[in-house]
Structure 1
Amino acid sequence: MQLLRAIGFFRGNILIFSATIGAGIFVSPKGVLKYSSLNVAVSLSIWAVCAVLTLISALSHAELGTTFPRSGAQYYFLKRSLGSSVAFLSLWIKLFTHPLRLATESLLLSTYTIQPFYAGCPAPELPKRCLALAILWSLGLVNTRGVRTVTWFQTISTLAKMTVLCFISLTGIVLLAIGEKENVARFENALDAELPDVSRIAEAFLQGLFAYSGTSILISIAGEIKNPGENIPKSLITVLPIVAVIYLLVNVSYLAVLTPKEIISADAVAVTWTDKIIPSMQWVISFGISTSILSNMCCTVLSASRMIYTASQEGQLPSIFSMLNNHSCPSMAVGQIIILTSIVIITSDLINLIRYSVLAIWFLRGLHMIGLLKLRYQEPSLPRPYKVPLPFVFGSIAISLFLILTPLIQAPKLEHIYGLVFICSGLLCYWIHVHLNQHSVCFFKITCSLQLLFNVSPPEDHDELPIVAQQTKNLTSP
């Protein structure tokens, strides 16, 4: 019973496509335009800069997964470099940000699926939320079948999403090439529009970066990748430039057909775009977009479950979450992230969900880079198959500081105080975790009962088992 190294270069590329191209390109254009003060030139520039920033950050984080090629590499790296308290803090934040991301994708997917039944008016909230829960739990079942099943599912869904995005992109190019006055007019006077202030630009970056926030998928599952020292950076360099070009072309196509005001008022931008171009193809576009978001959600569940799995192995979560089923999948960790997301789905303000989740992601990325610098200084002889240039590391830290501090300084809000209280509550939970007796006999009996109920057992890699998991395994041995 072990996690299998079943993902090579091709499957790694598929996973990056699936994890990156999802909800973001269909919901973020609305937020980027809103915070760009409806300035088309600024909006497109932000999309281009977001691609560069994401590539820098992704290549910087690739060193984490290649130096420590195990699932949940970001969490393990923080514990190794900055200590248990910081690692627990990252776990605390991700236990909320992963459900936020999944809830955003679930609600958007249900909107795109239901909207064709309600032509001319918004879909009711109750059916959208019920469908979002049904989709979420179905993906949980797919993930419990193991990483090979997930990658086959992602290969098929990636072909569907690329077909839809290429159709949208090529249609926009054709419309601009024809040169109809209505389509070209939005770009002719783009530089004369109002410029947003610094705080709004930072908010626009948060919206745009959400569309790229799945690029760390291979680092999260580094323990299941063949030859991670070579395949992780190679896949990032191959895929991310292609994604950046597609995102720019899709945004140009949206703007060639819809006005900025129509974009920011649309719940489903691509469906509104289709209504203007080919109304009869609305079902085809809706299906392709739904498939795209579905595959993205599947990757998020995969990544989040591996983080919970590793934290359990390191003794910072109950040992039941590090146990595998007969498909070599941490099914209890998958169940945990599905339950948390089901609770979050009651919130439906997508733009706010994006802001909170991206802020947390870049806060953790800044911590990762600080830990990387510290580990390079303390352990210079540590084997590093891939070593990122230091300017990339300092650039990632600067990006994190800009995105986090600019809104706090320029336009402080009550929600920022809530964020600080949330982080402090994570440190309080860590103190409780350390100072209370977590391993009582009653706790072991509950773990054994859950093992029998869900047919799971600890992995057979005894060297990486914490004392708690090893004791639990002994209790269940004949």
Structure 2
Amino acid sequence: MLIMQLLRAIGFFHGNILLFCVTTGVGIFVSPKGVLKYSSLNIAVSLSIWAACAVLTMITALSLAEMGTTFPRSGAPYYFLKRSLGSSVAFLSLWIKLFTYPLGIATQSLIISTYLIQPFYTRCPAPELLKKCLALATLWSLGLLNARGVLTVAWFQTISILVKMAVLCFISFTGIVLIGIGKKENVARFEKAFDAELPGVSQIAEAFLQGLFAYSGTSVLINIAGEIKNPGENIPKSLITVLPTVAVIYVLVNISYLAVLTPQEIISTDAVAVTWMDKVIPSMQWVISFGISTSIVSNMCCTILSASRLFYTASQEGQLPLIFSMLNNYFSPTVAITQIIILASFLIISSDLINLIKYSGLATWVLRGLYMIGLLKLRYQEPNLPRPYKVHLPFVLGSIAISLFLILTPMIQSPTVAYIYGFIFIFSGLLCYWLHVHVNQHYVCFDKVTCYLQLLFNVSPPEDQDDGISTGEKHLEEIVL
């Protein structure tokens, strides 16, 4: 008999691969424009913000790790909020993620298609219809890959990381060589780095939102904690191993961009790496396009994995239909994956990338602030709860301070109507909570729809799981008699 549960199949090696792939995604190829723009084209400030973003990411990631190790189950952040701050706050986080995940995936799909097609249209823009068709094909292919299970995704990332590392290392080492040669045009802008205008406090906050977007995805291991072997040990170790490596690569890549391109050239393009390659080796532009596309594909794959586990856990907790928590023969929540792919397919439209990063970043830091408040509350209410990994209190307080700074500073310094719309959207989730959860009406037709979908997708309900409060040493077995 086969137990229908998510399997603990991800060890320390594959955990590092997943974390590295999801962190080094689209951000390093689009965020340099936003960071430099909001840094008032000040190179010294820009590079300092990239380094500071690495430190802030490490602080918040290690703080979030306590959730995944205390409650080692998939969708741990959602379950944690429900446990600490209540069902309404947990549903609010689900409401935000229900839109931000598909929106991010759709944007990444369009960026991939743009990078792949544009080299074939060097003298004119690529047709929009062709870009959208390729974006949809990429999106659904990754959906099918995720339906094959978490271990298949991990092996796919192991292969794609080779291409990603080749691209990032090539950009980094080329910049170092160009600076080492000492050509005047490559070194001049660094010599005058401190002469530029200093940005204001509001601009610095905006620049941080852009830079932190490049480090987004560090919660992937927390979201799939129920599928990680010995999460109490492997999650913190992976964060400490991978994030400093990513930080060094990001700083070197930005130095390389600035060694080849002027700040004005960087902020005038959405494809910084392609513009960089056009200056270095124009005939090899298609190589960098392919490498970047592969990098974004691996990032998308991990994002779909994380999002599906959130829907899976919300379904188990009764805040989404039961069908989302049912598993196929590969122990994967196929219906949850399909729902994400369908939503992202509808959202494959053009958008202002910098504003998208800004608003999705604000939503992310609202949630992280809530996580830290819940962490403090749970420490006070349940001090004896087994915690295999316990983050230092200054890290938690620092994460709350960072969240408040990034959320409030832009609104106070330069308030716009867009921020009001953003918060209206966030808190409209409370109305949906009241309508769909608090007013809990059951109709027989819903059971029939669930049965039909269960037959269509060939899925079964998972076995009952424990609360996930353990030291992380108890593993699920794949096969029983």
Measured against the shorter chain, the TM-score band is: over 0.9
CA distance in 1, matches of 2:464, 2:456: 23
* 1:37 is the counterpart of 2:57: no
Q: Distance in 1 between matches of 2:438 and 2:392?
A: 40
Percent identical across equivalent pairs?
Answer: 80
Distance 1:367 1:98 in 2: 18
Partner amino acid for 1:337?
A: I
* AA partner of residue 123 (structure 1): A
Aligned length: 465
Distance of 1:459 and 1:206 partners within structure 2: 38
CA deviation map 1:210-230 (0-9, x unaligned) = 000011100000000000000
1:8-19 correspondence runs (5 A): 8-19=11-22
CA contact (8 A) 1:19 1:214 kept: yes
C-alpha displacement of 1:186: 1.0
Letter in 2 for 1:142: L
Whether the 8 Å CA contact 1:104–1:354 is kept in 2: the answer is: no
TM-score, structure 2 normalization:
0.95
CA root-mean-square deviation = 1.2
Give CA deviations for 1:116-167 in whole Å, capped at 9, x if unaligned: 0111443333322222121111110100000011001000001110011001
CA gap 1:433/1:230 in 2 versus in 1, 3 angstroms? same
Quick check: 71-80 or 201-210, which moved more? Answer: 201-210
Give 2:242's aligned residue.
239
- SS class of match (1:325): coil
Match of 1:309 among 304, 307, 312: 312
Per-residue Cα deviation, 1:340-377 (whole angstroms, up to 9, x for no partner): 11222214211111111111111100000000000000
Partners in 1 of 2:196 and 2:381 — Cα distance? Answer: 51
Please tell me whether the aligned partners of residues 111 and 268 of structure 1 are also in contact (alpha carbons under 8 angstroms).
Answer: no
Q: Is the 8 A contact 1:313 1:464 kept in 2?
A: no
Q: Distance in 1 between matches of 2:381 and 2:321?
A: 31
Q: Provide the C-alpha distance between the structure 1 equivalents of 2:43 and 2:116, rounded to a whole number of angstroms.
A: 29
Q: Which amino acid aligns with 1:185?
A: A
Per the alignment, residue 9 of structure 2 pairs with: 6
Deviation at 1:463, TM superposition (A): 5.6
C-alpha deviation, 1:104, in angstroms: 2.4
TM-score, normalisation: structure 1: 0.95
**3-state SS of paired residue (1:348):** coil
| 1:38 Cα deviation after fit | 1.1
Please tell me whether the aligned partners of residues 145 and 153 of structure 2 are also in contact (alpha carbons under 8 angstroms): yes
1:116 matched to 2:119: yes
Which one-letter code corresponds to 1:197 in the other structure? G
For residue 276 of structure 1, report the CA deviation from its aligned partner.
0.7
Distance in 1 between residues matched to 2:272 and 2:27, nearest whole Å: 11
Write the mapping of 1:364-403 to structure 2, written as runs, cut at 5 A.
Answer: 364-403=367-406
DSSP 3-state at the match of 2:119:
helix
Q: Name which of structure 1's ranges 134-143 and 240-249 shifts more when overlaid on structure 2.
A: 134-143
Moved more, 423-432 or 344-353: 344-353
Query: Could you tell which deviates more after superposition, 343-352 or 452-461?
Result: 343-352
Quote how far apart the aligned CAs of 1:464 are.
Answer: 7.0
The reply on whether 1:137 has 2:140 as its aligned counterpart is: yes
CA distance in 2, matches of 1:434, 1:357: 25
What stretches of structure 2 of length at least 5 have no aligned partner?
A: 469-481
Q: What do residues 307-338 of structure 1 show as CA deviations (whole Å, max 9, x unaligned)? A: 00000000000000000011100000001111
Query: Quick one: distance in 1 between partners of 2:123 and 2:201?
Result: 37
Q: Which residue identity lines up with residue 60 of structure 1 in the other structure?
A: S
- Secondary structure at 2:46's aligned position in 1? helix
Q: Quick one: which of 397, 409, 425 aligns to 1:406? A: 409
Structure 2 residue aligned with 1:444: 447
Task: Determine whether 1:265 maps to 2:261.
Answer: no
The amino acid across from 1:306 in the alignment is R
CA displacement at 1:462 relative to structure 2: 5.9
Q: Give, in whole Å, the separation in 2 of the partners of 1:424 and 1:359.
A: 14
Deviation at 1:279, TM superposition (A): 1.5
Question: Per-residue deviation at 1:103?
Answer: 2.1
Residue in structure 1 matched with residue 25 of structure 2 by the alignment: 22
